[in-house]
């Protein structure tokens, strides 16, 4: 899970301390040191987590937050001013840390926020899957083109697709195999709404073709007796989708 973060803090020293404390949880962290910088960043970029001092050298951070789209942002306020707490929670702040706060306090709040984001994303995936499953039509097809032929294949006839660099192999009923010069990611985006699931970096499976799940949940067995590996980070979601 890639999560974005911005630290808004007018003290360069404190900003760098905060960054060092949480950097292991983010691939990239933006840092700004004034209200004007915060306005520019928040108006052009969105962040999953915002760690913000309230009282900046050129104004209150609330002025930047009011102008930004914070729909998916989680806010952690860090400040020396307790009187801004009520205003902070109007922005649905998750935390309000009063300076001087300990290293562990900030780490704890960031980890709690990351857990919340992960949980929200998980339930969104479940919700989208069942919505699409209910709304899909009985018969659906996909067009698979290679250098020789254009294949029109019923989705129900596809057992799984396997990545081969920038190519994808489709394994279908009747021992039919189709090689297409597109990446597996392309088909994941196209088929994830139609009962297909990316269970592994190299495999996209038809959920309606699963006939067994290994006890360890490290693999599934399909109707054609193919054994397909399941990545450890995908086990829980797959089991939930299959009601195991």
Mind listing the pLDDT tens digit for each residue in 182-191?
999 999 988 9
Dihedral pair phi/psi, residue 237, rounded to 5°:
-65, -40
The answer as to whether 162 is a domain residue is: yes
Residues 106 and 161 in one domain: no
Residues 149 and 97 in one domain: no
Residues 120 and 189 in one domain: no
Has residue 214 got a pLDDT over 80?
yes
The residue among 82, 102, 131 that closes a domain is 131
**CATH number for the domain harbouring residue 175:** 2.40.50.1020
Question: Which residues form the domain of 79?
Answer: 5-131
Is the pLDDT higher at 137 or at 105? 105
Q: Give the mean model confidence (pLDDT) for residues 232-240.
A: 87
The residue among 100, 131, 162 that closes a domain is 131
Dihedral pair phi/psi, residue 135, rounded to 5°:
-95, -10
Q: Give the mean model confidence (pLDDT) for residues 215-224.
A: 87
Residues 121 and 46 in one domain: yes
Q: Give the mean model confidence (pLDDT) for residues 52-69.
A: 92
**Residue 192, pLDDT score:** 83
**Residue 235, pLDDT score:** 87
Contact residues for 206 (Cβ-Cβ < 8 A; gap 6+): 155, 156, 158, 159, 160, 195, 196, 222
Q: Give the mean model confidence (pLDDT) for residues 154-161.
A: 94
**Residue 138, pLDDT score:** 43
Residues 15 and 58 in one domain: yes
Roughly what angle, to the nearest 10 degrees, separates helices 12-22 and 103-135? 60
Q: Give the mean model confidence (pLDDT) for residues 139-154.
A: 83
Surface-to-core class of residue 47, CB atoms within 10 Å of its CB (0-12 exposed, 13-18 middle, 19+ buried) = buried
Query: What is the C-alpha separation between 181 and 183, in angstroms, rounded?
Result: 7
The answer as to whether 122 is a domain residue is: yes
The answer as to whether 136 is a domain residue is: no
Residues 125 and 227 in one domain: no
Q: Give the mean model confidence (pLDDT) for residues 212-233.
A: 89
List the strands of the sheet with 227-229, edge to edge: 210-213, 219-222, 227-229
Query: What is the C-alpha separation between 35 and 57, in angstroms, rounded?
Result: 7
Query: What is the C-alpha separation between 236 and 100, in angstroms, rounded?
Result: 40
Residues 48 and 66 in one domain: yes
Closest CA to 6 of 25, 28, 29, 26: 29
The answer as to whether 152 is a domain residue is: yes
The answer as to whether 35 is a domain residue is: yes
Residues 202 and 233 in one domain: yes
Mind listing the pLDDT tens digit for each residue in 125-143?
777 666 666 555 444 788 8
The answer as to whether 174 is a domain residue is: yes
Q: What DSSP string describes 4-26?
A: -EEEE-S-HHHHHHHHHHHGGG-
User: Percent of the chain at pLDDT above 70?
Assistant: 94
**CATH number for the domain harbouring residue 60:** 3.40.50.2300
Residues 222 and 160 in one domain: yes
Mind listing the pLDDT tens digit for each residue in 112-128?
999 998 888 877 777 76
Confidence band (pLDDT; 50, 70, 90) for 225?
Answer: very high
The count of domains in the chain is: 2
Residues 79 and 158 in one domain: no
The residue among 131, 166, 189 that closes a domain is 131
Report how far apart, in Å, the C-alpha atoms of 1 and of each of 32, 110, 118 are: 24, 15, 8
Lowest mean per-residue pLDDT among 40-49, 101-110, 164-173, 208-217: 208-217
Query: What is the C-alpha separation between 25 and 244, in angstroms, rounded?
Result: 31
The answer as to whether 207 is a domain residue is: yes
Average pLDDT, the chain: 89
Q: Give the mean model confidence (pLDDT) for residues 189-212.
A: 91
The answer as to whether 69 is a domain residue is: yes
Residues 19 and 116 in one domain: yes
Residues 147 and 122 in one domain: no
Is the pLDDT higher at 217 or at 54? 54
Has residue 195 got a pLDDT over 60?
yes
């Amino acid at each position: 899970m890639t999560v974005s973060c911005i630290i808004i803090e007018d003290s360069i020293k404190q900003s760098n301390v905060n960054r060092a404390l949480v950097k292991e949880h983010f691939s990239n962290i933006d840092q700004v040191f004034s209200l004007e910088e915060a306005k520019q960043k928040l108006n052009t970029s969105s962040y999953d987590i915002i760690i913000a001092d309230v009282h900046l050298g050129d104004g209150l951070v609330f002025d930047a937050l009011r102008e930004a789209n914070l729909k998916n942002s989680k806010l952690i306020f860090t400040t020396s001013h307790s009187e801004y707490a009520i205003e902070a929670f109007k922005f649905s702040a998750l935390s309000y840390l009063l300076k001087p706060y300990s290293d562990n306090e900030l780490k704890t709040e960031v980890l709690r926020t990351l857990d919340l984001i992960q949980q929200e994303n998980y339930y969104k995936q479940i919700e989208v899957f069942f919505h699409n499953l209910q709304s899909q039509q009985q018969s659906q097809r996909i067009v698979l083109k290679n250098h020789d032929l254009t294949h029109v294949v019923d989705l129900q006839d596809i057992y799984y697709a396997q990545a081969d660099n920038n190519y994808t192999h489709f394994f279908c009923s009747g021992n039919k195999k189709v090689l297409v010069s597109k990446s597996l990611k392309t088909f994941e985006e196209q088929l994830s709404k139609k009962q297909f699931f990316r269970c592994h970096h190299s495999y996209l499976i038809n959920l309606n073709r699963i006939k067994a799940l290994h006890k360890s949940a490290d693999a599934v067995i399909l109707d054609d007796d193919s054994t397909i590996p399941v990545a450890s980070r995908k086990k829980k979601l797959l089991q939930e989708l299959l009601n195991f």
